[in-house]
Amino acid sequence: MTAAEEAGPQSVRVNLLFNERPVRVPYGVTLFDAASWNGIAIDSTCGGHGTCKKCRIRIADDPPVPSSLDIRAYTPQEIRDGWRLACRTAATRDTRVEVPPLTTRPKAATVGVGRQVILRPAVQKRYLELAEPSLADQASDLERVLAQLEDLEPRAELSVLTTLGRTLREADYKVTAVVVDDVLIAVEPGDTTARRFGIAFDLGTTTVVATLLDLSTGTPAGVESTLNKQQPFGADVITRISATMMDPGALDKLQNLARETLAELAQAVCAQGGVEPHEVYEVAVAGNATMTHLVLGIDPEPLGMAPFIMATRLYPEVLAADLGLGGVVHPRGRAVVFPAFGAYVGGDITAGLLASGMDRDARVRLFVDIGTNCEIVLGNREWLLATAAPAGPAFEGAAIRCGMRAADGAIEVVTMTPDDVSLKVIGDAEPQGLCGSGLVDAVTGLVRVGLLDSSGRFITEDEARVRAPGLAGRLRRIGKERVFVLHWRGPGNPAAEDSIYLSQRDVRELQFAKAAIATGWQILLEEAGLEAADVKQVLLAGSFGSYLSPASAIRIGLVPKVPVMRVVSAGNVAGEGAKMALLSLRERAGGLALLEEVRYVELSDRADFNDRFVDQLPFPPG
Amino acid sequence: MTAAEEAGPQSVRVNLLFNERPVRVPYGVTLFDAASWNGIAIDSTCGGHGTCKKCRIRIADDPPVPSSLDIRAYTPQEIRDGWRLACRTAATRDTRVEVPPLTTRPKAATVGVGRQVILRPAVQKRYLELAEPSLADQASDLERVLAQLEDLEPRAELSVLTTLGRTLREADYKVTAVVVDDVLIAVEPGDTTARRFGIAFDLGTTTVVATLLDLSTGTPAGVESTLNKQQPFGADVITRISATMMDPGALDKLQNLARETLAELAQAVCAQGGVEPHEVYEVAVAGNATMTHLVLGIDPEPLGMAPFIMATRLYPEVLAADLGLGGVVHPRGRAVVFPAFGAYVGGDITAGLLASGMDRDARVRLFVDIGTNCEIVLGNREWLLATAAPAGPAFEGAAIRCGMRAADGAIEVVTMTPDDVSLKVIGDAEPQGLCGSGLVDAVTGLVRVGLLDSSGRFITEDEARVRAPGLAGRLRRIGKERVFVLHWRGPGNPAAEDSIYLSQRDVRELQFAKAAIATGWQILLEEAGLEAADVKQVLLAGSFGSYLSPASAIRIGLVPKVPVMRVVSAGNVAGEGAKMALLSLRERAGGLALLEEVRYVELSDRADFNDRFVDQLPFPPG
């Protein structure tokens, strides 16, 4: 590992300005992904391999060094003007990006981790000009419509029939049939074939994200995120399950809060995209098992205690109305709910694996979604192993003395030398606390400069004055506990109690979390008969994992010791998987097929788990 | 035709007392059918052919002459004690009947017109004792249940999942799965396999009948009927369709009234049978196209005017809740809605054909359901032709000066000689008016004694005094119209205006009705290349047709001129068909298959209809 690699990227977030729309993305992702994840449509048909040359963008101010593919794609003048391929340009600094409007009607979309998806959405529309009935042709109204949809062989819903007669006659027998999968859900007057939309939801325990997709083009038409309204019932899934066990009314309340969260997001993205509610014919939901159970009103109690049993792995046919969206999308809109591998490897992970193509790649890859519950999947296109590790709330900022979520004022990057500490704060604001990536960075820095020994204990003040003379003054005590001050609040050198600090107990919390995770992937590697070096790529997924410094993650042993370039941020793969399910029936089937392809490894019944966990507590040698 | 045949049965209704329960049935039906139609269970496995000898009943008072099958089935002492086979004993007089309780658990039931139905209901129950989950066996709750139902391959409903976890754990993993067709609709604690019920509805324009069936035995557990609550919107389908065209709110109102009618009947039959609402897992509905459209909330307007187009022939998957029964049967109970051949040959006729086995019999048979709209089907197991004839409201008592529905006080039988008129009145009450069968009898009698000529005109008073001296005094005038007094109200010989009479215009109404019907079956006979004599059986179906005097029907040309014994009352075949659909998936499929087997002949676009209609107006020569 070179010194540069060791230091890692200077920032874990990059500010971009796409056509004057500001977005914030993990360091190093391509500008194509950065745009796509934020609802900004860029042409692409090659899956991000730089071959279709459609993903044209312009960086007018101080354009980056062109890649060899850029040089083949553009004239020298264009290169000088800042034209680049979005799929080949990484976000490594704050940048202003111009995206030309879409010129083609795409047949494919690039989503997830470089996945090219041929557009074949479940939502199909057909414009029909029907013959008027007569005494010589008394076919029923429905037969008349179905005769034109023979290749789709849909079944009709009762709701279509209630108004079909009036619609046909008022529209002069010129109508558009809306078929979702194998169901005729609507017959609309006139030709509405140009308008069909879906909403992909990433239903997280903390944050919920909705992406409105134009299903005809595969392009996003709106993205919104918000906190899950269930938050007051607890930060993690266990506290929410517990709530349903204490209070018989809590399940209803939690279900309604989840439904309200989805409904508000649906309204927001439709407003953003200029789409009428009835033009949204399908939604897809990727969430962990608890979130999925709760939003569907399924009693989650058996998920919360051994032996951790789901009501179902595969969900039955569900309508958008069953998710509380009846009034904000098409009243008979359908819903795709991602199936789960286990109580703690849920539909969000199924969606994430689909989006990252874990079952398509020949390379052995490790997928790690870091959170209170950490889901880990190892494998390639031949085999896949999955497990869940109970990491605890450290990464969410909970149980950390000065912890906070990754919001404005959170220290997200900590860079440490023996002489000084420098911080990067979200929103460039006065520091308010430490978020998960800052926590990992801080501990990594302290280990690297030697203020923490490999067991995770602060060294003595005397030793500190020798090893890191510029930092020794930051080692303090609050009561009996030793702390390291990251940031003095106010002028001068006030009491440690008022500073933003990292305590000995905080370090222990992180050690427990990373030991649980490392035990998880260690066991999977052993089950597969592999070693860390065999892992060709580590995908850091989820809202926390995506913003983690790969170098720090490696340094403290959160991920296997591989070259830092092999550790990549995969972004919000759950949401990407949900988008894929809306855009392609084939990909949707692929998501289902994953259930058969993944073997779930339960950690909680392994006799050797505790021994292995203790083995993983120390920090690896530098 | 013998004189006895010519005279016809003396009564069209017979009062029976089954185990002290009074019922009223058409003359000549078997006591087995009479019991079955009225919810009284009698053993039978042979389809009413006298071979299984299970349908034991006892007529203690004045038992009828035993049949040869009775003599083989019983000892001489039993014969003397009044034991008879219910399927071989006709209801020809008021009778007290003792029915022993069921002793066997039947595998088949006899329903409809002598149809033996092997019990294979769509509603199935399985008692399951499941292995408890463990860390070594983390199959989901649903997988655990479905593994035991592999042969049924059901899909689960979301509603099952919401409480499945709790049910399994509280019931100690001993549960009963309820599968309807291919859907798992419930998992109940403990062993409930002994309790499964369905309700068959005959949803008539005037009268609605519900039969609660024990699906394990095929036996009825309750029967109730009531007037369709839509009545205030008009007596026939056309007035109800018109209402929806005038008033945008009428469709909702009509739908709700139909739903209330069904719901009240469901509650009544459950109370009668001692059945809990959640034990009713399926309902079947046979109704004409308009009634079916209305109860499902489907706009009926296109049914009401040429070219008479249905929204659909086949109805989509429907829940009992879609019929307004969500609260009064199992909340996820399913519904079977009979498909229709045409706007005026609806699901009631599909059910009726199923019940009468029109597609199974080698003989050419004519099925006639007489009402405001008259449905006519001709054929055998090789071919079937159907049509609808607009008979008008005469048979319902409407448009007839002294007409009334067949209720207490209605003259239902009129017997006439040249000297006198004798009347039979429903409920043995003072006559209030004339119902359909009385109307047909009265006109038949007047034709027979010669007071009406073959053109349907009353002969002169002078001629009357010669031909029927005892009746001539009843020929009067009210204003300019000639009338025949059937019953003088009060003592003496008061004004004709105050009597119950038949007017010249009433005779014309009946002529128009019978001409429309006769034109219908004439055209079907011609389409088939047959003559009246080729018809081996005429089935008079529906609430009016069943009570019509066969001899009178033949005499005035309402049915083809065949020996009177060939004309039989088929009873409420629509309701019987609905029962069959609940008892047997195979019969249900047979009902669907009828849609392909029946060819619909539209009368209203035939250029020769009016000529033929005029040809049928006269009464045939005696």
Whether residues B165 and A138 touch (CB distance < 8 A) is answered with no
Distance (Å) from the C-alpha of residue B71 to the closest C-alpha of chain A?
Answer: 55
pLDDT value at residue A6: 44
Is the bond preceding A307 in cis, omega lying within 30 degrees of 0? yes
Q: Return the bridge partners of B137, or none.
A: B134
pLDDT value at residue A200: 98
Q: Which two tokens stand for residue A527?
A: 């089950």
Q: Which of A2, A32, A15 is nearest to A412 (CA)?
A: A15
**Residue A184 predicted with pLDDT over 90:** yes
Confidence category of residue B564, pLDDT binned at 50, 70, 90 = very high
Q: Burial, B251: exposed, middle or buried (Cβ in 10 Å; 0-12, 13-18, 19+)? A: buried
- Residues of chain A contacting B322 with CB distance shorter than 8 Å: 158
B78: which residues sit within 8 A by CB, 6+ positions away?
none
ipTM of predicted assembly, 2 dp: 0.87
Q: Which two tokens stand for residue A598?
A: 């993944």
Q: Burial, B610: exposed, middle or buried (Cβ in 10 Å; 0-12, 13-18, 19+)? A: exposed
Q: Return the bridge partners of A177, or none.
A: A126, A187
pTM summary value: 0.87
- Residue A460 Cα distances to A478, A504, A508, angstroms: 15, 12, 17
**Residue A13 predicted with pLDDT over 90:** no
Q: Which range, of A9-23, A215-229, B203-217, B435-449, averages the lowest pLDDT?
A: A9-23
- Name the residue facing B136 among A297, A302, A605 (closest C-beta): A605
A vs B, Cβ pairs < 8 A, gives: 141
CB B366 within 8 A of CB B539: yes
Distance (Å) from the C-alpha of residue A254 to the closest C-alpha of chain B?
Answer: 14
pLDDT tens, residue by residue, A328-357: 999 999 999 999 999 999 999 999 999 999
Distance (Å) from the C-alpha of residue B533 to the closest C-alpha of chain A?
Answer: 31
**Residue A58 predicted with pLDDT over 80:** yes
Q: Which two tokens stand for residue A56?
A: 């044209």
Average pLDDT over residues A523-548: 92
Distance (Å) from the C-alpha of residue A140 to the closest C-alpha of chain B?
Answer: 5
Report helix, strand or coil for A203: strand
What's the rounded Cα separation, in Å, for the pair A155 and A181?
A: 10
Place of tokens 């890649």: A67
Per-chain mean pLDDT for chain A: 91
CB B242 within 8 A of CB B304: yes
pLDDT tens, residue by residue, B257-272: 999 999 999 999 999 9
What's the rounded Cα separation, in Å, for the pair A362 and A530?
A: 15
Whether residues B141 and A296 touch (CB distance < 8 A) is answered with no
- Residues of chain A contacting B299 with CB distance shorter than 8 Å: 162-166
Confidence category of residue B3, pLDDT binned at 50, 70, 90 = very low
Whether residues B161 and A311 touch (CB distance < 8 A) is answered with yes
Percent of chain A with pLDDT over 70: 97
**Residue B6 predicted with pLDDT over 60:** no
pLDDT value at residue A47: 67
What's the rounded Cα separation, in Å, for the pair A344 and A348?
A: 10
Supply the DSSP symbol for B281: E
Distance (Å) from the C-alpha of residue B485 to the closest C-alpha of chain A?
Answer: 44
- Residues of chain A contacting B164 with CB distance shorter than 8 Å: 298-299, 311-312
Q: Which of B295, B341, B351 is nearest to B322 (CA)?
A: B295
Whether residues B316 and A156 touch (CB distance < 8 A) is answered with yes
Q: Is the dihedral of CA A411, A413, A417, A422 positive or negative?
A: negative
Q: Burial, A505: exposed, middle or buried (Cβ in 10 Å; 0-12, 13-18, 19+)? A: middle
**Residue B59 predicted with pLDDT over 80:** yes
Main-chain phi, psi angles of B136, to 5 degrees: -85, -10
Residue A96: in which H helix or E strand, if any?
A: strand A95-97
Whether residues B306 and A165 touch (CB distance < 8 A) is answered with no
Whether residues B141 and A310 touch (CB distance < 8 A) is answered with yes
Whether residues B166 and A299 touch (CB distance < 8 A) is answered with yes
CB B617 within 8 A of CB B456: yes
Q: Burial, B245: exposed, middle or buried (Cβ in 10 Å; 0-12, 13-18, 19+)? A: middle
Q: Return the bridge partners of A30, or none.
A: A90
What's the rounded Cα separation, in Å, for the pair A322 and A314?
A: 16
Average pLDDT over residues A85-111: 86
pLDDT value at residue A11: 58
Whether residues B306 and A142 touch (CB distance < 8 A) is answered with no
Q: Which of A433, A442, A448, A447 is nearest to A399 (CA)?
A: A433
Main-chain phi, psi angles of A322, to 5 degrees: -65, -15
- Residues of chain A contacting B162 with CB distance shorter than 8 Å: 296-299
A152: which residues sit within 8 A by CB, 6+ positions away?
A124, A126, A179, A182
**Residue B562 predicted with pLDDT over 80:** yes
Whether residues B161 and A342 touch (CB distance < 8 A) is answered with no
pLDDT value at residue A210: 97
Average pLDDT over residues A428-457: 93
- DSSP annotation string for A330-359: -TT-EEEE---SBTTB-HHHHHHHHHHTTT
- Name the residue facing B141 among A134, A157, A312 (closest C-beta): A312
pLDDT tens, residue by residue, B362-403: 999 999 998 888 999 999 999 999 999 988 888 877 789 999
Whether residues A600 and B322 touch (CB distance < 8 A) is answered with no
Confidence category of residue B46, pLDDT binned at 50, 70, 90 = confident
CB A236 within 8 A of CB A373: yes
- Residues of chain B contacting A310 with CB distance shorter than 8 Å: 140-141
Whether residues A165 and B311 touch (CB distance < 8 A) is answered with yes
pLDDT tens, residue by residue, A569-608: 888 899 999 999 999 998 999 999 899 899 999 888 888 8
- Residues of chain A contacting B311 with CB distance shorter than 8 Å: 140-142, 161, 164-165
Whether residues B141 and A318 touch (CB distance < 8 A) is answered with no
